[in-house]
A = this chain, B = another copy of it.
């Protein structure tokens, strides 16, 4: 589990650029759901959910909505994660955004030094040096 077997060669997309799938999986685990539970709630087969989370397939709108519903997310949030530009007005109101970086910056339990350190670690991970 959690092991990426081989990265299936892929067709053009730089291998591990699976934003949507990772996001869905993260949200599902956050909600403490198994694939089968989520499958039952969304009427999407657990097999397919697994593949979507691993980035092997690009789900349709219908499935995306079902997933959003099961996870109690807005479809917009999922669509943002799926590769769509939203073009119109970038974000504006877009509140929920909530990046990890922002969360760290806003965390009152961290001292300034700790904050800086944690941000450093995080950035080194995601390559936002």
Residues of A near any B CB (own CB < 8 A): 2, 18-20, 22-23, 26-27, 29-31, 58, 60-62, 64-65, 68-69, 71-77, 79, 81-82, 84-91, 93-100, 102-112, 114, 117-118, 121-122, 125-126
Contacts and interface: CB of A to CB of B under 8 A. Distances in A.
A65 B82 CA distance: 12
B84 A61 contact: yes
Contacts of A82: 61
Contacts of A68: 87-88
Contacts of A108: 18-20, 22-23, 26, 81
Contact of A89 (B18, B29, B72): B72
Contacts of A107: 26, 99-100, 126
A62 B57 CA distance: 13
Given A76-B86, A121-B121, A95 B58 contact: no
Specify which of A2, A62, A82, A96 lies most central, judged by the most chain B CB atoms within 10 Å of its CB. A96
Given A29-B105, A72-B94, A60 B62 contact: no
Nearest to A25: B108
Specify which of A30, A74, A108 lies most central, judged by the most chain B CB atoms within 10 Å of its CB. A108
Contacts of A72: 88-91, 93-95
